[in-house]
Chain A
Amino acid sequence: MNFSFTPEEEKFREDVRAFLAEHNPNRVEDADDDIESGLARLPKLMAWNQALYDRRWVGFHWPREVGGGGGGVVEQMILKEECAKAHAPMLGLSYMGLAWVGPGVIKYGSEEQKRRFIPPILKGEEHWCTGYSEPGSGSDLASLQCKAERNGDDYLINGQKIWTSLAMWAQWMILLVRTDPRASKHAGMSCLLVPMDTPGIDVRPIKTMNGRTPFAEVFFDNVRVPVVNRLGEEGQGWDVTKTALANERSSIAEVTALQHNVEELKRLAVQCRLNGRPAIEETNVRQRLAKLDCTIEAMRLSGLRFLTKQLRGEPVGAETSVNKLLRAGVEVEIGRLGCDIQGSRGAIEGGRWQKHMLSWPATVIGGGTPNIQKNVIAERILGLPRDVSSG
């Protein structure tokens, strides 16, 4: 085993640090930004995107033919890690487009679709939201009912989506719809690219327990979308959607962010007092902090083992579910511990840790709940039988 980097990789790391020193618009406190404060700093963030774009560091691992960087796994990890250490903004303004749309368009899109949609994503000029979950289809996403019926050269869409992040600001939506109700649930879906200013789309924001409004319900009433906006073939919707998940790379940036939080908790524990002495002297606080250290370090190292498999070209399975499950527990615990260290004063709202404690469902429930992750691990890794299904 070895944990050193090649001279080329170390040079790249230095390049990234120099880039950040020149272009990073964030101060430490900006890293926890929500959408609204991000929008207020939009000119700085657009300049950041431009600087990244000039280096082909937006879409770093995408093929160069579509405008990406064609970069390798280790370099991408280094880039994300250094950005996370510097509390930099995300690696591209159009981050939903980068995460959910680009991979699908690259794999399934027509040449025209690639030309039309990839460059504005890379330049941060066009913003996307994802139309996946429905009130009746969350963990069981494949049961979704939003219909798209063929009507001449268009589809007519009727139905409802929910938890659609950024719907209030996005220009486009990548929408998963049912085009064939008679097919099996996975085979009857298609993927459509929908302009958000199409008549018949109604966006209703939803407020969450932390007081913010990060997502919305989106209603479709006879919304007309051209067939040429379909991504992939009819019935390929599920495969297109899975491309984004298969494209998941190193979670090192997430680990760095978690480490930052725990370092903050340690500083907090030194300042706050419990039972007449600094919280950092309380056994329970110390054990909880150490457990977080251990778990986050395990996540980092498991990520490196996974990275090694990718580098070696070895087959990978559902290993990423291990870290996803751990992350859920860590996110919840960080918020709780941050308030617990404050003792009774932790009940007062508005502070950083109160916000954290009220925000964990976004990462813990969104993108696959812990119960779903446990099912994935149990079934795909341990080979245990699937749940009794209702069909």
Chain B
Amino acid sequence: MDFGFTEEQVGLQDQVRRFVASECPLTRVRQIMEADRAYDAALWSKTAELGWQALTVPEAYGGLGLAWEDLIIVAEETGRGLLPSPLLATAAAARLLAALGDEKQKSRWLASIAAGQTVATIAALEDGDVLDERGITCRAEVRAGGEVALHGSKSLVAYGQAADLFLVVAREQDGVSVFAVESPASGLVVEPLSLVDATQRAADVVLDGVIVPESARLGPAGKAWPAVRSVLDAAAVALAAELVGAADASVAMATEYAKIRRQFGQPIGRFQGVKHRLAELHVAVESARSLVYYAAWAVDHAGDPSMHVSMAKAYASTAADEAGEECIQIHGAIGFTWECDAHLYYKRGRCCRNLMGSPEAHRERVLTSQGL
């Protein structure tokens, strides 16, 4: 029984934390936010050199073959620094490829992903936030001659505007399948969204009769949902890990401010109204962290990790949302300004709260996964 990190994991955590602090401090984050590009290519190259894109890709395809819990260590740090990158979107897509793809498909794309040459993303969620299989209404129409036509719309596809490869979840006659769609493609319309949280990117994607060969289907026709659900769960844990990092950074920022800001002759952090709120948030962050770390282990090792995935996402969302808001409050009027970094964390918390399932939807799943 050991619920802690190995020496290698501590080393990875340290490396990522130092990279984020030196290569992408918040000043750089702001530059990337304001640039009119889908992602920052220079930053993407640097992380590829460190092997981050290769972390969870199987070794047989040029990856490091590490576990999802190792990715979560990276995610907590990139969340702490609000690092703008298609890293997690690509990692989730790689996991789905590894789960469903045949040798040819895996060879074709995984090595390129691991090398940082392909940005990939899963296009699953549709408008209306239905998180189970019923939410897939995008259609895949098999035609004569070994072709499939894709029709429908996908909502808030992570880094859709940056993606070279979309893994599109669509319904065909027998059920849900996944199709690999390389971008650009005729009929594939990517509509970049302007998010409240400009440290991340997402796009709506319309598939207006996009034609792919049947060989673009990953896995057996109509039977992909369990793998899709499982990978989306892993992706939710990665998002939750980023939120733990962001929440922790909010608390740290507010705590530092409370130590130096003086009013009424003393640091405001001495007032119980202020320090008690920070104590409560620390408890929320620590609890979320415990749930996220366990869920990260569970997605690789437990038979059915869905309850723990939902616990992690619900708790981390709430912690980041509340910590982000409180950080502004503790800063007083300064916290309202563009120049102060508090709003960056506030917006990350507010936006991600309802991505990949709201806390309410996940709490509901905590109960339904117990048969209630």
Contact of B4 among A290, A312, A382 (CB under 8 A): A312
Residue on B nearest A291 in the bound complex, by CB: B363
The reply on B46 being an interface residue by CB < 8 A is no
Q: A294-B291, A298-B291, A384-B258 are in contact. Are A307 and B1 (CB under 8 A)?
A: yes
Interface of A is mostly: helix
**Chain B residues, CB < 8 A from A309:** 4
A307, B3: Cβ atoms under 8 Å? yes
**Chain B residues, CB < 8 A from A388:** 266, 270
A304, B3: Cβ atoms under 8 Å? yes
The reply on A383 being an interface residue by CB < 8 A is yes
Q: A301-B294, A374-B275 are in contact. Are A280 and B287 (CB under 8 A)?
A: no
B314, A294: Cβ atoms under 8 Å? yes
The reply on A379 being an interface residue by CB < 8 A is yes
Contact of A290 among B280, B297, B363 (CB under 8 A): B363
A375, B272: Cβ atoms under 8 Å? yes
B258, A305: Cβ atoms under 8 Å? no
Q: Which of A2-10, A17-25, A146-154, A191-199 contacts B (4 or more CB under 8 A)?
A: A2-10
CA distance A326 to B290 in the complex (A): 13
B297, A1: Cβ atoms under 8 Å? yes
B275, A2: Cβ atoms under 8 Å? no
A374, B372: Cβ atoms under 8 Å? no
Nearest Cβ distance between residue A132 and chain B, in whole angstroms? Answer: 24
CA distance A297 to B286 in the complex (A): 12
CA distance A309 to B4 in the complex (A): 8
Contact of A384 among B270, B286, B370, B372 (CB under 8 A): B270
**Chain B residues, CB < 8 A from A298:** 287-288, 290-291, 311, 315
CA distance A79 to B270 in the complex (A): 42
List residues of A (356-376) whose CB comes within 8 Å of B's CBs: 371, 373-375
The reply on A227 being an interface residue by CB < 8 A is no
The reply on A184 being an interface residue by CB < 8 A is no
The reply on B69 being an interface residue by CB < 8 A is yes
A387, B272: Cβ atoms under 8 Å? yes
The reply on B334 being an interface residue by CB < 8 A is no
Residue on A nearest B267 in the bound complex, by CB: A385
The reply on A266 being an interface residue by CB < 8 A is yes
**Chain B residues, CB < 8 A from A293:** 311, 366-367
Nearest Cβ distance between residue A220 and chain B, in whole angstroms? Answer: 34
CA distance A305 to B286 in the complex (A): 10
CA distance A3 to B278 in the complex (A): 31
Q: A294-B314, A294-B315, A378-B279 are in contact. Are A384 and B255 (CB under 8 A)?
A: yes
List residues of B (279-306) whose CB comes within 8 Å of A's CBs: 279-280, 282-283, 286-288, 290-291, 293-294, 297
**Chain B residues, CB < 8 A from A287:** 360, 363-364
List residues of B (241-281) whose CB comes within 8 Å of A's CBs: 251, 255, 258-259, 266-267, 269-270, 272, 274-276, 278-280
A382, B278: Cβ atoms under 8 Å? yes
**Chain B residues, CB < 8 A from A304:** 1, 3, 290
Q: A286-B363, A295-B287 are in contact. Are A378 and B278 (CB under 8 A)?
A: yes
Contact of A266 among B1, B2, B372 (CB under 8 A): B372
Residue on A nearest B5 in the bound complex, by CB: A1
Give the one of A294, A304, A309, A381 with max B CB within 10 A.
A294
**Chain B residues, CB < 8 A from A377:** 279, 282-283
Residue on B nearest A314 in the bound complex, by CB: B4
Q: A377-B282, A384-B258 are in contact. Are A371 and B4 (CB under 8 A)?
A: no
**Chain B residues, CB < 8 A from A302:** 286-287, 290
**Chain B residues, CB < 8 A from A35:** none
B283, A326: Cβ atoms under 8 Å? yes
Nearest Cβ distance between residue B190 and chain A, in whole angstroms? Answer: 36
**Chain B residues, CB < 8 A from A291:** 363
List residues of B (313-372) whose CB comes within 8 Å of A's CBs: 314-315, 360, 363-364, 366-367, 370, 372
Q: A289-B367, A298-B311, A382-B278 are in contact. Are A325 and B3 (CB under 8 A)?
A: no
**Chain B residues, CB < 8 A from A299:** 287
Q: A1-B4, A388-B270 are in contact. Are A382 and B286 (CB under 8 A)?
A: no
A280, B4: Cβ atoms under 8 Å? no
CA distance A1 to B73 in the complex (A): 12
Nearest Cβ distance between residue B220 and chain A, in whole angstroms? Answer: 33
CA distance A368 to B68 in the complex (A): 39
Contact of B311 among A5, A266, A294, A326 (CB under 8 A): A294
Q: A286-B364, A290-B366 are in contact. Are A2 and B2 (CB under 8 A)?
A: yes
**Chain A residues, CB < 8 A from B367:** 286, 289-290, 293
**Chain A residues, CB < 8 A from B4:** 1, 305, 308-309, 312
Residue on A nearest B301 in the bound complex, by CB: A3
A383, B259: Cβ atoms under 8 Å? yes
**Chain B residues, CB < 8 A from A297:** 291, 308, 311
Q: Which residues of B contact A (CB under 8 A)?
A: 1-5, 69, 251, 255, 258-259, 266-267, 269-270, 272, 274-276, 278-280, 282-283, 286-288, 290-291, 293-294, 297, 308, 311, 314-315, 360, 363-364, 366-367, 370, 372
* Leading 3 A-B pairs by shortest Cβ distance: A290-B363, A298-B287, A378-B275
Besides A326-B283, A384-B258, 12 new A-B residue pairs in contact (Cβ under 8 A), listed by A number: A1-B3, A293-B311, A297-B308, A298-B291, A304-B3, A322-B282, A379-B275, A381-B279, A383-B255, A384-B269, A384-B270, A384-B274
